[in-house]
Amino acid sequence: MNSKTTLVWIAIIAASIMSPCIANAEEAGNTGADLANQANEAANNAFVTLKKAIQGDSSAISEMASSYAMPALMALVFLFIGYMIASFLGRMIGSVVAKRVDQTLGKFLSRLIKNMMMVMVILGTLGFFGVDVTSFAAILAAAGFAIGMALQGTLSNFAAGIMLLIFRPFKVNDYIKVAGTEGTVEEIDLFTTRLNSVDNRHLIIPNNQIFGNLLENFSHNDLRRVDITIGTDYANNIHQVRMVLESTVQNIPGMVVDPAPQVYLSELSASSIDWQLRVWCHNADFWSVREHLVSLTKDALDNAGINIPYPQMDINVAGKSLAQAA
C-alpha cells in the first residue's frame, strides 16, 4: 500500500470516528457555522476521552469503544468488503471484454469499474455514519465538468478510441490508409493509433482523425486484385495482343485461379491502345505478384514483337510541310 492510499484510509477512518458527533450536530438543525463549531468541540472531546482512556479511566474506555472504536471498525469492514467486491467485478468484466472485444479496452474497463465502485463505497460508508455526502457529489460533478472542458480534445480522442476498440474496423498488423497516410497498424491505444509505414517511419495518429473519416483497410479481405495498365501500338493487331496477354496472366507466380484473371480492353488513348490486366492473389503476396505481372507482361510483348509506344503527337502545318516550316 503506497503513501497516498494510506492517507486516504486514515482520512476515512477519522471521518468515521467523528461521524456520530457530526450527525448529532446536524440533527439539532444548527447553522453551518454552529455545525463547524460543534464538530471542533466534538473533536476536542474525543481527544480528551482518548487521553483519559489511555490513563486507565474505565468510563472513558467504554465510551471510546462504543462511540469511536466500533464505528471505525465497521468502516474498515465496509471498505474492505467493498474493495474486494470492486476488485472482483473489475477483473471479471475486464477479462470478458478482453477476450471478446479487445485487451486494451478490457484493462481500461477493469480499472474504471473498480475505481468507480470504490468511490461509491467510500461515499456510502460516510453516508451510513451520518456524514452528508451531497457536497461531495457536487464537488465531483463540478470537477468532472471542469476537466471535461479542459480536456475536450483529449476526451474526443478517448471516445474515438473506445469506438475503434468496440467496432474494430481494423486490428493490429492490418495495413490501412487513413488521415492522408498509410502503414501497418502496430498498436491501437485509447487516445492514439500507431502505424509503421512501408519505409519504416513510425506514425502516431490521434483517434479522432480516424473514427468517422474515410478509412481504407487493405488487409480486411483475404484476397486482393492486382491491376496494371499496358499500352500497345495502334499498328499491332488487337486480337494478337489479347491472345498474348491472356496467355501471360494465366501463369503469374503467386496468383490464385479463382477468381480467374482478366484481360480488359480499356481505352483508345491518344498514342496507344490501353489494356488492363487483372490478377487475384492473397494479401501477403500482393507486391510480389504485381512485380511478376509487370515483368512477365513486358517479356511476353517483346517476344511477340508487340510495341509499347511512347507518347507522341502529330503536328500538321497548314499550307506547307513540316520540313519547309523548319
Look up residue 134 and give its amino acid.
T
Each residue's pLDDT tens digit, 27-71: 434 444 554 565 566 566 666 666 666 766 667 666 666 666 677
Q: Is 264 in a helix, a strand, or coil? A: strand
Rounded distance between C-alpha atoms, residue 61 and residue 67, angstroms: 10
168: phi > 0 → left, psi -120 to 50 → alpha, else beta; which?
A: left
Q: How far is CA 254 from CA 134, 226, 277, 298, in A?
A: 69, 11, 15, 18
Instruction: Answer whether 102's CB lies under 8 Å from 188's CB.
Output: yes
Instruction: Go through the domains of the chain in sequence order and give each one's CATH number.
Output: 3-150 (no CATH), 175-217 (2.30.30.60), 223-303 (3.30.70.100)
Q: What is the residue-level pLDDT of the chain in tens, covering all 326 positions?
A: 444 444 444 444 444 444 444 444 344 344 445 545 655 665 666 666 666 667 666 676 666 666 666 777 888 888 888 889 988 988 888 888 878 877 767 777 888 888 888 888 888 877 776 666 676 667 777 777 676 666 667 788 888 888 888 888 998 889 999 988 999 999 888 889 999 999 999 999 999 999 988 999 999 999 999 999 999 999 999 999 999 999 999 999 999 999 999 999 999 988 899 999 999 999 989 999 999 999 999 999 999 999 988 876 667 776 555 555 55
Q: Longest Cα pair distance anywhere in the chain, in angstroms?
A: 132
DSSP state string for 175-241: EEEETTEEEEEEEE-SSEEEEE-TT--EEEEEGGGTTTS-EEETTSSSEEEEEEEEEE-TTS-HHHH
Strands 175-178 and 215-217, by their bridges, are antiparallel
What count of other Cβ atoms lies within 10 Å of the Cβ of residue 288?
14
Crossing angle between the packed helical segments 32-54 and 3-27, to the nearest 10 degrees: 110
